[in-house]
A and B are shown apart, each in its own frame.
Chain A
Amino acid sequence: MNFLQIILKQMRQRSLSTWLTMLSVLLGVGLAVSIMVLRREGQNLFAQTDFGYDILIGPPKGSPLQLTLNTVYHMDQSPGVIPYALYEDMSRKTAPPAGRPDYRPWVKNAVSFMVGDSYNGRRIVGTSPLLFGFDDQGQRVTGEAFQYRKDKSYELATGRAFHPRKFEAVIGSEVAEREHLTLYDDKLSEGENEKRLATFRATHGMPGPNEKPDIHKPKWHVVGILKPTHTANDKVLFVPVVSLYAIAEHEEGMIDQALMRAKIDPGKVPPEKLDSVLQSLGIDPQKVPESLKKKFKLKSAKPAAAAPGGDLLKDVAPAKTAAAESDEDPDAFHFDDKGEIVPDLPQEEWTISAIMVKSRGDGFQAQQIMYNFKVIDDRATAVNPASVMRQFFDTFLSGSTTLLLIISAMVTVVAAVSIMTTIYNSVAARRREIAILRALGATRTRILSLICFEAALIGLIGGLAGFVAGHLLSGAGSIYLQQTLGEGIHWLQFDKWEFIYLGAVVFIAFLAGLVPALKAYTTPVATNLAAS
């Protein structure tokens, strides 16, 4: 019998206590390894620097973190809106009209990003076909394809990019799979396509479980399904940003926002004064769709005493009609002769949630853009998503995971103590066996190393099992992240620290074995042979 066989035999002889000790090592190591993996891969996930774009432009007063989480991970709510005109300025490929800024030297490409609606709890994002590498004419752009990650562009698994002014959608791979949405078939009737889930309607906002969903009237046709990107974007339905302006509630919302900014209660604006109110806000009343005007009139307050102060709100006396209770959205657009959407909402009133910008050059242009929105242009704020996420990790995740790591180190020490206790007790119960081995020719040193290696072996086996368990636990964490963020972590990835830790666990176990080993070392042979 060799050394290892003797150790294994003796461990098997006390299998219950051996297994329980290994379990305690497994738990300690599993916890520590999973924290190490989550910490490392979480850092890679959140503090990634390989974004395909280097600047996010969002509302001036929004939090950079909220903007980044909302745009990159589709988490949290949009911090607000910015004018669509800004996107036009930034994405312009030709010389700007007089009075408009020229961002061309700085911007390589810019993609609009608009949120607010959902389908079955999945986010609908209004954007431009450039996201998928197509221009507004449906032609593939060369050399300037948008990248969601460095060197990674969206690819269509099937179908085509949407038309920028039609109710068409390109959906993420996970949406297609989970919601069973299929590609729209022109040869089939609208009804048949609806049945085979090739069309969908958007729900306003993201209603809670007990809220009655407000489903918009327009129907989008699924014209493209993306290949998996293994990012949060797989859970998203992309539609043309213009199609979102064709929804009455959105137009209303945008005018609402304009009114709110001016601190005007739309419900109290008398119909005859509506035009002047809109004009005072810079909105051309001629361009406001009738449907909206009607809605404001209906919402006007009942005849009442004039509100104190505020010229606009004096002499408010519109009548309320029964139609005011109607929930049905009126159409807020029409199709032009080419069948393209023309929203009733004037383009000056269009807003978007964010712009994803890839700057030109090596970072200088990016800094110029950041500086521009920090100092010169106060319509928006520009952030670098990579540095925002790195900061988020450093200030929040890093600290808390360090604490967890310390806890797991303590759990490891507890596991080592449990190895020591178990083996110490077993040595006490094994004095006769040790004496027999000595009588058969085992030296004290051999007995010492037998015990220490047994402890190390428990550490190694428990440690390896813990190593596997830790990664499986991280895998579970990854599934959770995948479900919440749309992006998992590389839970099967190892790094040297894990192996160093595992080595340390085995070494600590070996040391823990030293205490009982010294006891065994001093076990007198003659008395223990005689004792039994």
Chain B
Amino acid sequence: MALHLSQLKKNYTGPDGSVVSVIDIDNLTIADGEQVALIGSSGSGKTTLLHMIAGIVAADTGRIEYDFSGMPPDGIAPGQARPAGIDYRGATPQHKTDIARMTEANRDVFRGSHVGYIFQTHHLLGGFTALENVLLGMSFTGRKPDRAWARRLLDDVGLSDRRDYKPEKLSVGQQQRVAVARALANRPKLVLADEPTGALDPATAQQVLELIRKLCVEVGASLLLVTHDLDIAHQLPRVLSLSEINRASMAAKAAARSQTSLA
């Protein structure tokens, strides 16, 4: 599945009423199965962009198209049942689905079915075991949770002996690996990883990165990984700098530069 962003804009209104442009992207495409690193400084809008792609945050204008052409007829990978009761509002999953035109509820369901999200901190639920956290990732798709696949994912991330451990009993690296497994739980078409190695030591970070990449290949998902660590970024085949594709951060940079020169 390919992802096309076009004319994507997001503004925030500041406390003083001023409008701040956060995202202003003309065009961005991530090809089917492509693994892309997105680098950018703090506050450049990396997380906001991921949230918009995931449908967590609505775009003000523009398109966020998930291109399912080349996928099986209804956009659902083989072996997966089509989620029941989802209103795609005229979008045709066989071809392109613009989630920017979807209602929030439909975006939620779409995200649950097609997007895997890995956060900087694991964001596991404390009351649930590792296995349950992975199963939780499957709970909002309208499909029956696939326990065997959940176990298999935990095996793949090397936690076969920690399935029944609650997050508090796991190390930070182990917690992040559970989070990776959870993100892959629904065999997503796109995995969005927001600084997934940011809280890990270099060795663990490397392990987690490799896991993410390997599993994305395994499920046929494209990967968009946000990081500020260039060593991590350059391991991926394509590296994008947000400051180069986002006019909003370019403008912010220019403003900062002019302020510096005035000073």
Q: Among the listed B117, B126, B135, which residue makes an inter-chain contact with A439, where contact means beta carbons less than 8 Å apart? A: B117
CA distance A2 to B145 in the complex (A): 8
Let me know if A10 and B127 touch, CB within 8 A.
yes
Is residue A74 within 8 Å, beta carbon to beta carbon, of the partner chain? no
Let me know if A439 and B132 touch, CB within 8 A.
no
Nearest CB of A to B59, in Å:
13
Let me know if B112 and A440 touch, CB within 8 A.
yes
Q: From B51, which residue of chain A is reached at the shortest CB distance?
A: A526
Is residue B128 within 8 Å, beta carbon to beta carbon, of the partner chain? yes
Let me know if B105 and A444 touch, CB within 8 A.
yes
Let me know if B108 and A1 touch, CB within 8 A.
no
CA distance A432 to B47 in the complex (A): 17
Q: Among the listed B119, B126, B141, which residue makes an inter-chain contact with A441, where contact means beta carbons less than 8 Å apart? A: B141
Nearest CB of A to B14, in Å:
15
Is residue A142 within 8 Å, beta carbon to beta carbon, of the partner chain? no
Is residue B54 within 8 Å, beta carbon to beta carbon, of the partner chain? yes
Contact A9 to B141, CB < 8 A, known contacts A436-B123, A444-B104, A532-B121: no
Nearest CB of A to B122, in Å:
10
Is residue A438 within 8 Å, beta carbon to beta carbon, of the partner chain? yes
Q: From B83, which residue of chain A is reached at the shortest CB distance?
A: A441
B57: A residues at CB distance < 8 A = 525-526
Number of A-B contacts (CB under 8 A): 81
- Per-residue A-contact encoding for B121-150, CB less than 8 Å = 1, 0 else: 101111110001001111111000100000
Let me know if B140 and A441 touch, CB within 8 A.
yes
Let me know if B54 and A440 touch, CB within 8 A.
no
Contact A445 to B105, CB < 8 A, known contacts A439-B117, A526-B56, A526-B57: yes
CA distance A433 to B108 in the complex (A): 16
Most chain B CB atoms below 10 A, which of A9, A442, A443? A443
Q: From B112, which residue of chain A is reached at the shortest CB distance?
A: A441
Q: Among the listed B51, B105, B137, which residue makes an inter-chain contact with A440, where contact means beta carbons less than 8 Å apart? A: B137
Let me know if B136 and A440 touch, CB within 8 A.
yes
Nearest CB of A to B247, in Å:
21
Let me know if A439 and B127 touch, CB within 8 A.
no
Interface size bracket, B side: 20 to 34
Is residue A260 within 8 Å, beta carbon to beta carbon, of the partner chain? no
Let me know if B139 and A1 touch, CB within 8 A.
yes
B141: A residues at CB distance < 8 A = 441
Let me know if A433 and B125 touch, CB within 8 A.
yes
Q: Among the listed B48, B51, B109, B123, which residue makes an inter-chain contact with A532, where contact means beta carbons less than 8 Å apart? A: B123
CA distance A51 to B136 in the complex (A): 63
A13: B residues at CB distance < 8 A = 126-127
A150: B residues at CB distance < 8 A = none
B108: A residues at CB distance < 8 A = 438, 441-444, 446
Q: From A12, which residue of chain B is reached at the shortest CB distance?
A: B127
Q: Among the listed A3, A6, A10, A529, which residue makes an inter-chain contact with B119, where contact means beta carbons less than 8 Å apart? A: A529
Let me know if B127 and A440 touch, CB within 8 A.
no
Nearest CB of B to A431, in Å:
12
Is residue A98 within 8 Å, beta carbon to beta carbon, of the partner chain? no
Let me know if A439 and B105 touch, CB within 8 A.
no
Contact A440 to B140, CB < 8 A, known contacts A13-B126, A526-B51: yes
B residues 65-80 in Cβ contact with A at 8 Å: none
B contacts, CB < 8 Å to A = 47-48, 51, 54, 56-57, 104-105, 108-109, 111-113, 117, 119, 121, 123-128, 132, 135-141, 145, 182
Closest 6 pairs (CB-CB, A-B): A441-B112, A13-B127, A441-B140, A443-B108, A443-B105, A1-B135
